Structure 1
Amino acid sequence: MLNILRTSIVYRSSFMVLAIALCVGGLFAAFTYLWESTTEQELARARLGTLLSTVENTLSIACYLSDANLAKEVGQGLLKNQEVAGIKIYSPKSTLIELHKDKSLKKINSLLPSLKTNPQIQRPIFSPFNHKESVCQIELTPAIDFIRSQVNHKARFTSLLLMLQALIMAGAVVYIVMYLITRPIKTISDRLHHLTPNDDASLPLPTGNERDEIGQLVRDVNNLFSKLFHILEDERELRMQHQIGERKFRAIFNNSETGIFLLKPDGEVISCNPAFLRLLAIVPNASPELIRHSLISNLNDYALRLQGMLENARHDDQISSEDFAIEVGTPPQQKWINLVISAVENDVLQGLVNDITERKMLEESANQLAITDHLTGIANRLGFEKAMSRIQFEMHAGLISSFYILMIDLDGFKYVNDQYGHEVGDKVLCHFSELLSKIVRRSDFIARIGGDEFVVILKEMDEVNQVENIANKIITETSQVIHFGDAIHIQIGASIGINFINTADYDIATILHHADEAMYLAKKAGKNQYHLFQQKN
């Protein structure tokens, strides 16, 4: 029974409707029973009072005359009423009459509480000539069992009518629910249970429900089933396309020259393709532990940059790309790689790594050519400007505090070009460049910024006499005779302008201009000497 109630909406709804009807009907029936009983008892007392009122005048004469026969006739008349069990008429001096019925009625069991413990009705009888003079008392005893049986009969009849009405209404509701609602729903459920998924599958409309909510439900189910079928067909097609795409991707993944890998937000590699292992010089049969930490270990020197890329990809949803110089393999081989990291799903990142060593070498070679003087092999003017920008950054960072710049112009170089030609002049320039490289420190910087104009940058010189010693050495070495074979003997000189810079907020053009002014004063003073620039106040 419990299993049927759990699995059948028909029986469950019917049982619930009947249970509710019985509970509500029983409650109202009990209330009606109590109310009817109380009302009937009060009505019985009222009827007895009215009965007394009809014989009150006759009793007043009988009592006034003390006529027992008349009183007895009145009492016998009252006893004929089924609701009267006994009567007693008495005065303070004597009892006039006392009559009782035989207790022939059976005691009736009742759900009601008993009538009042003192049910007798007493009333004084007054003189017919003086309405204020009491001549006797009448005491009427109700027939309690008869009254109770009448009360029970009426109350039970009313309660049974209410229960019957509730059951009839419940039966009607159950029938309506079963016939109009649950029966069509069960029919739909049974048909839906055996419905096979195909393009033509649909539920027939229940007879009589074509235009109501059940009919609409069937139409909606058919529409939903049709849409679901097409969605499943589309999903099946997409799954096939996905499998084809996955096979293509797997082929690209395994044969690509780009390293492809997945990693956790902490940098641990989850999976990778063979190209990733080749780029980092990891053998294919390496341990999983080595592969997991391969990216972190190879970029250990760039831990902060790698952490920044991981954070940007994970939290900011940015694609991060960086170039790194690493050493891989045994013996160590320097290699440039480009690393790209992006987010693909929660707590999983995707990475791409490419070998850009050749490109970096070409870029480095191109940059070097751009900042190198093609004749002497030292820096050109662009190289000098880049060196000045780098020094300015170092001063702002507090790495250095000051430097000296030497502007050098070769004395007599124009005569060499005019006398021996540009080929010999170029050899003189190369000779002077080599001479400068030997005199200054490896940490210093030299550049050719014009035809025969050279610049030397001396960093972190504490004493000016050190700079002067270098300038004197340059002048001395430059003035030595240069021999090109047995026939060509050349002697040139060097005029040097020195400028001291101890602030990071400098302008390159101004610095060169001040150094050039000092060099001009050296030439004006007789050439082949140096002059220190003095700031005018």
Structure 2
Amino acid sequence: MLKLLRTSIVYRSSVMLLAIALCVGGIFAAITYFWESNTEQELAKNRMGTLLSTVENTVSIACYLSDSNLAKELGQGLLKNEDVAGIKIYSEKIVLTELHKEKKSNKNKSFVPNLTTNLLIQRPIYSPFNNKESVCQIELTPDIQFIRSQVNNKARFIALLLMLQALIMAGAVVVIVMYLITRPIKRISDRLHHLSADANTSLPLPPGNERDEIGQLVRDVNTLFSKLSHLLEDERDLRMQHQIGERKFRAIFDNSETGIFLLNPNGEVISSNPAFLRLFSMNHDASADTIKFSLIHNLNDYALRLQGMLENATHDEHVSSEDFMIEVGTPAQKKWINLVLSSVENNILQGLVNDITERKILEESATQLAMTDHLTNVANRLGLEKNIAKIQFEMHANMISSFYVLMIDLDGFKAVNDQFGHDIGDKVLMHFTHLLSKIVRKSDFIARTGGDEFVVILKEVDVIEKVQDIARKIIHEAAQTIQFGDSINIRIGASIGINLVDTPDFDMAKILQQADEAMYHAKKSGKNQYYVFQ
């Protein structure tokens, strides 16, 4: 029963209507009972007053004559009335008669047991010859049990009528609700329960409900079901496309040469593809912790740069890209990688890593080629400028305190080109470059800045005398005869200008100009000698 009340609108609504009908019927029955009880008491009182008026003359004669027998007969006649329970006729001197009915047990229970019992009727009796002379008193006691029985009978009857009326009305409402509302809804519910998920399926309109709210409900359900079916079809299509795209992405993810991985803002790797493991020289069966901290471990020397990339990608939602040189594997192998980080969702970052070692080697080769003299294989003017800029940075960082610039020009080289040709001249330049490489240290720098002009930079030389010794060795070696075969003997010389730089805030062009001035001073002084710029 409880299950039906929870699951069935028909039973639930019927029980609720019947309960309401019983409550309303009971309330009105109680109100009717109280009203009927008061009315019946008033009617009983009026009947006894009328009865007393009927025998009043006879009683006055009996009282006037003090005839107790007559009074008794009158009392017995009055007691025959069902409303009268007792009678008493008396005067100040004598009680003419006092009669009472036998009390009967009341088997019927009263709805309201406390009925008013103060219905005693007292009336003075006057002389038949003088209507102002009181001769006795008469008292009529009503039969409360009889009155109560009458009230209960009427109240029960009316209550039953009211309850029956309420139940009939409730039953009629239940039948109307069942056939007009709940039954069509039950049919719709049953059909919905067995309806297949097909775009062409719909609920039929219940007969008789085509134009009312239930019909509108069915039409709305059919419309909603049609839309839902189309949405399900679209969702299935999208799911299929998503699965196809996911398989494609999985194939790319697994077979790509680019390392693809997800990580959190702390730099811990959440997931990665095989290329990521290969780039960092990890086995496919590497432990979860090894993979998790692989990025942090391999970029430990670049912790600040990595932290900056993570913050930019997380908070600023910028795509960060940086190049790093790392050492991986056993034995350690140097490798250049390009790392790209971007935000994909809350607290999740996506990373791409590529091996750019070959590109970096090519870039370095191209840079080195751009800064190298193709004939002598030492630095050219661009290489010289890069080196001096690097030295200036080192001086600002207090890594070195000073350096010397040697500007060298070959004496007699133009005559060699004119007499023997440029091929021999090139060989002379390469020969002199070889001499310089043997004289200066490996940590020193050599550059060819022009046709027969060279620049040597000496770092970390404490005294000028050491520089002068190097200058004299260069001049001495350059003055030696150069032989090419049996017939070509060439003699050249070297003039050197020396300039000391001991402040980091120097001007590159100015220090080279000063060294050049010192070199020309040496030439003017007779060549094959050096001069220190003052």
Cα distance in 2 between the residues matched to 1:51 and 1:204: 75
8 Å CA contact 2:89–2:97 kept in 1: the answer is yes
Report if the CA contact (8 A) 2:498-2:518 is conserved.
no
* Match in the other structure for 1:367: 367
Q: Map 1:369-384; keep pairs closer than 5 Å.
A: 369-374=369-374, 377-383=377-383
Check whether the contact 1:494–1:529 (CA below 8 A) recurs between aligned residues: yes
**Structure 1 pair 418–304 and aligned structure 2 pair: CA distance change class (3 A):** closer
Could you report, residue by residue, the CA deviation over 1:395-451 in whole angstroms, capped at 9, with x for unpaired residues?
77xx427743545434x65x5344334774995698479648954672x66656677
Please report how far the alpha carbon of residue 148 of structure 1 lies from its aligned counterpart in structure 2 after TM superposition. 0.9
- 8 Å Cα contact 2:22-2:166 kept in structure 1: yes
Alignment of 1:329-348 (within 5 A): 329-342=329-342
User: Could you list the per-position Cα deviations for residues 321-364 of structure 1 after superposition, in whole angstroms to 9, with x for gaps in the alignment?
Assistant: 43333334454433323334455567765544333221111111
Structure 2 match to 1:227: 227
Question: How big is the shift at 1:171?
Answer: 1.1
Contact kept in structure 1, 2:268 and 2:293, CA below 8 Å: no
Distance 1:497 1:391, change over 3 A: closer
> 2:85 matched to 1:85?
yes
Cα displacement (A) at 1:207? 0.9
Please give the residue correspondences for 1:304-315 in structure 2 after superposition, counting only pairs within 5 Å.
305-306=305-306, 309=309
CA distance in 1, matches of 2:205, 2:386: 87
Residues 66 and 96 of structure 1 are in contact (CA less than 8 Å); yes or no, is this contact kept in structure 2? no
**Structure 2 counterpart of 1:535:** none
Asked if 2 retains the 8 angstrom alpha-carbon contact of 1:75 and 1:99, the reply is yes
Residue 144 of structure 1 deviates from its aligned partner by: 0.7
- 1-structure distance, mates of 2:446, 2:99: 154
Q: Structure 1 pair 287/439, CA: closer, same or farther in 2 (3 Å)?
A: closer
- Map of 1:138-149 to 2, 5 A cutoff? 139-149=139-149
Answering whether residue 413 of structure 2 is matched by residue 420 of structure 1, we say no
- What displacement does 1:248 show? 4.3
Structure 1 residues 328, 405: CA separation in 2 closer, same or farther (over 3 Å shift)? closer
Cα shift at 1:71: 7.7
In the other structure, the counterpart of 2:468 is 472
Distance 1:433 1:35 in 2: 138
Q: Distance in 1 between matches of 2:232 and 2:211?
A: 30
Distance 1:12 1:104, change over 3 A: closer
Change in Cα spacing, 1:309 to 1:72, as seen in structure 2 (3 Å) is farther
Which secondary structure does the structure 1 equivalent of 2:491 belong to?
strand
Query: In the aligned structure 1, how far is the partner of 2:498 from the partner of 2:437?
Result: 13
State the match for 1:121 in structure 2: 120
> Structure 1 pair 51/68, CA: closer, same or farther in 2 (3 Å)?
farther
The 3-state SS of whatever aligns with 1:110 is: coil
Distance 1:105 1:472, change over 3 A: same
Q: Which amino acid aligns with 1:36?
A: W
Cα displacement (A) at 1:375 = 5.1
Describe the superposition over 1:24-43 as per-residue Cα deviations: whole angstroms up to 9, x where unpaired: 433x2464256436644764
Superposed, 1:97-246 pairs within 5 Å as 97-101=97-101, 103=103, 107-115=107-115, 119=118, 121=120, 125=124, 139-246=139-246
SS at match of 2:364: helix
Structure 1: which 5+ residue stretches go unaligned? 533-537
Secondary structure at the aligned position of 2:85 is classed as strand
- Cα–Cα, structure 1 residues 30 and 366, in superposed 2: closer, same or farther, change >3 Å? farther
Q: How far apart are residue 205 of structure 1 and its match?
A: 0.8
SS of the aligned residue for 1:466 comes to coil
* AA at the equivalent of 1:498: L
1:64–1:184 Cα change, 3 Å: same
| Residue matched to 1:495 | 497
Q: What SS does the corresponding residue of 1:171 show, helix, strand or coil?
A: helix
Q: Distance in 2 between matches of 1:207 and 1:12?
A: 24
CA contact (8 A) 1:36 1:154 kept: no
Aligned: 1:272 with 2:273? yes
1: distance between equivalents of 2:469 and 2:43? 149
Structure 1 window deviating more from structure 2 (492-501 vs 336-345): it is 336-345
Aligned with 1:208: secondary structure?
A: coil
Name 1:326's counterpart in structure 2.
326
Q: What SS does structure 2 have at the residue aligned with 1:205? A: coil
How far, CA to CA, are the matches of 2:466 and 2:49 in structure 1? 150
Would you say the 8 A contact 2:119–2:141 is kept in 1?
Answer: yes
The secondary structure found in structure 2 opposite 1:529 is: strand
CA RMSD of aligned residues (A): 4.9
Q: Contact conserved, 1:337 with 1:357, CA < 8 A, in 2?
A: yes
2:326 is paired with a residue of what secondary structure? strand
- Tell whether the 8 Å contact from 2:259 to 2:272 is kept in structure 1 after alignment: no
Aligned to 1:501, what secondary structure does the other structure show? coil
Q: Percent identity?
A: 53
Ranges in structure 2 where 5+ consecutive residues have no aligned partner? 484-488
What residue identity is the alignment partner of 1:191? Answer: R
Distance 1:40 1:358, change over 3 A: same
Paired residue for 2:291? Answer: 292
Q: How many pairs were matched up? A: 512
Q: Deviations over 1:215-250 (max 9, x none)?
A: 122222222333333334344444444554455445
- Deviation of residue 85 (structure 1)? 2.2
CA distance in 1 between partners of 2:392 and 2:91 (Å): 141
C-alpha separation in 2, matches of 1:434 and 1:76: 172
> Secondary structure of the equivalent of 2:462?
helix
**In 1, Cα distance between equivalents of 2:389 and 2:51:** 133
Q: Determine the structure 2 residue equivalent to 1:409.
A: 407
- Note the alpha carbon deviations across 1:138-175, whole angstroms, 9 max, x for none: 65422111221222233323332332232122212211
Residue equivalent to 2:16: 16
TM-score (ref. length: structure 1): 0.74
Where do 1:429-448 residues align within 5 Å?
Answer: 431=432, 435=436, 439=440, 442=443
> Is the 8 Å Cα contact of residues 371 and 383 (structure 1) preserved in structure 2?
yes
1:262-302 per-residue CA deviation (whole Å, 9 max, x = no partner) reads 567753464524x4454444556x45558735844554544
SS at match of 2:98: strand
Alpha carbons 2:64, 2:135 under 8 Å: kept: no
TM-score (norm 2): 0.74
Distance change in 2, residues 1:518/1:351 (3 Å): closer
1:358 aligned partner: 358
User: What secondary structure does 2:412 align onto?
Assistant: helix
Where 1:222 maps in the other structure, the secondary structure is helix
Q: Which shifted more, 518-527 or 10-19?
A: 518-527
